[in-house]
């Protein structure tokens, strides 16, 4: 992926805006403004054809403030950008037109001069008459650039001048969704704002538990940061086989809400709390010598078919949904707990 940022040229300089902005005209004494460049994202290459998101730049203003009137360029952005303003006897001809989804904006024109038309990815240049009194503005860059504005030799009843048209925006319909195109401002570069939801994370303080989850693709791609992605673990509905991993803390297991089978035997776990794992039907947690508490109150005990919790000398109480009914849910060989452990409500 390549990101190209638009830029606006310095006023009174005959240079283009970075990434497609049109060149302004230079006048005596009033020079025009350059067109703002577009901002875009390109995938698969660096040519204009590889653009998948484009924010059009605004057209540059025509030079000067005449009779209290500012001749602004067209606002960039939107699927159809705005035209540049004009001034004079035929002001609708002086400003460049805005770019669209299929064509560049036409440049301003008069009996003595024509400004450049916008093209694919490039704003049109303002006319460049050395002896112009007031110069036109450059067209904004965009998916299709805006046309440049023309300048005027004199301010009289026969002459007119204008700002550049804005450049249009664009998104590839196959690669981009949930995009809002809005008009920006004249004489500015295009702006792309990307918003994405913050990923939920699950706290997993045990380094060995986290490392195992990273290995099986349930982590966040960052080792030893004590976190995994909640979305991934919540969707995991298979068998979590974390036995013989030297795990002592199962914090984080509560977010495995679709988990059905948990095999965590032969570790150093102290507490097992699966009260949030409402789909759990199978739990092997034998041979965890430090284990002193198991909480199975998930509302789904009646669907369990295997619970092995022997060889846990420090386990005294196993919390279940209903201590009276709990043993009846299992075949005899599928329920094994030490004599020192009791079922507790």
SS3 119: strand
Which whole number is the average pLDDT over 187-208? 82
Q: How far apart are CA 223 and CA 256, in angstroms?
A: 20
Least confident of 64-73, 80-89, 184-193: 64-73
SS3 235: helix
Which whole number is the average pLDDT over 231-238? 93
Q: Could you tell me if 105 and 75 are in contact, meaning their C-beta atoms sit under 8 angstroms apart?
A: no
**Is the model's pLDDT at 205 over the cut of 60?**
yes
Q: Which residue has the higher pLDDT, 186 or 218?
A: 218
**Is the model's pLDDT at 26 over the cut of 60?**
yes
pLDDT band at 204 (very low <50, low <70, confident <90, very high): very high
The pLDDT > 90 percentage for the chain reads 50
At 329-339, the pLDDT tens digits run 999 899 999 99
**Is the model's pLDDT at 236 over the cut of 70?**
yes
Angle at 45 between CA 39 and CA 46, to 5 degrees: 45
The average confidence (pLDDT) of the chain is 86
Outline where DSSP puts E strands in the chain: 2-4, 39-42, 51-55, 65-66, 69-70, 86-88, 160-162, 170-171, 201-203, 227-229, 239-241, 261-263, 271-273, 282-284, 293-295, 306-309, 317-319, 335-337, 342-344
- Nearest by Cα to 165 from 35, 38, 71, 40: 35
Provide the 10 A C-beta neighbour count for residue 190. Answer: 33
At 104-137, the pLDDT tens digits run 999 887 666 788 899 999 998 887 655 555 677 7
pLDDT band at 157 (very low <50, low <70, confident <90, very high): very low
Report the pLDDT value the prediction gives residue 114, as an integer from 0 to 100: 81
Report the pLDDT value the prediction gives residue 133, as an integer from 0 to 100: 59
Least confident of 48-62, 188-202, 274-288: 188-202
User: Helices (DSSP H) in 189-240: which residue ranges?
Assistant: 207-215, 230-235
Domain boundaries, the chain: 1-196, 201-344
- Nearest by Cα to 296 from 313, 310, 311, 278: 278
Angle at 226 between CA 223 and CA 230, to 5 degrees: 100
Report the pLDDT value the prediction gives residue 37, as an integer from 0 to 100: 87
Q: Which two tokens stand for residue 292?
A: 């002193």
**Is the model's pLDDT at 18 over the cut of 50?**
yes
User: Helices (DSSP H) in the chain: which residue ranges?
Assistant: 91-94, 207-215, 230-235
**Is the model's pLDDT at 65 over the cut of 70?**
no
At 246-302, the pLDDT tens digits run 999 999 999 999 999 999 999 999 999 999 999 999 999 999 999 999 999 999 999
Rg over alpha carbons for the chain, rounded to the nearest Å, is 35
- 201-344: CATH homologous superfamily? Ribonuclease Inhibitor (3.80.10.10)
Q: Find tokens 């009791």 and name the residue.
A: 342
């Amino acid at each position: 992926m390549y990101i190209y940022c638009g830029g606006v040229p310095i006023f009174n300089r005959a240079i283009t805006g970075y990434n497609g902005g049109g060149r302004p005209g230079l006048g005596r004494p009033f020079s025009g403004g350059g067109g703002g460049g577009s901002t875009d994202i390109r995938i698969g290459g660096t040519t204009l054809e590889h653009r998948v998101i484009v924010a059009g730049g605004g057209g540059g203003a025509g030079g000067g403030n005449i009779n209290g009137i500012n001749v602004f360029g067209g606002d960039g952005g939107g699927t159809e950008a705005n035209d540049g303003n004009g001034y004079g006897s035929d002001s609708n001809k002086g400003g460049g037109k805005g770019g669209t989804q299929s064509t560049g904006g036409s440049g301003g024109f008069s009996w003595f001069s024509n400004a450049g038309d916008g093209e694919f990815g490039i704003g049109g240049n303002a006319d460049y008459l050395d002896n112009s009194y007031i110069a036109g503005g450059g067209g904004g860059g965009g998916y299709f650039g805006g046309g440049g504005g023309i300048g005027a030799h004199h301010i009289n009843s026969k002459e007119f001048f204008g700002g550049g048209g804005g450049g249009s925006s664009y998104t590839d319909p196959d690669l981009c969704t949930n995009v809002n195109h809005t008009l920006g401002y004249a004489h500015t570069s295009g702006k792309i704002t990307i918003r994405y939801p913050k990923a939920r994370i699950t706290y997993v303080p045990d380094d060995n538990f986290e490392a195992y989850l990273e290995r099986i693709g349930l982590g966040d791609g960052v080792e030893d940061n004590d976190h995994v992605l909640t979305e991934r673990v919540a969707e995991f509905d298979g068998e979590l086989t974390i036995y013989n991993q030297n795990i002592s803390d199962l914090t984080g297991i509560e977010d495995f809400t679709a988990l059905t089978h948990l095999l965590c035997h032969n570790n150093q776990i102290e507490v097992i709390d699966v009260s949030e794992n409402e789909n759990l039907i199978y739990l092997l947690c034998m041979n965890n010598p430090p284990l002193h508490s198991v909480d199975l109150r998930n509302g789904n005990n009646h669907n369990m078919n295997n619970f092995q919790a022997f060889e846990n000398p420090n386990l005294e109480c196993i919390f279940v949904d209903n201590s009276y009914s709990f043993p009846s849910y299992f075949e005899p060989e599928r329920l094994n707990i030490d004599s020192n452990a009791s079922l507790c409500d």
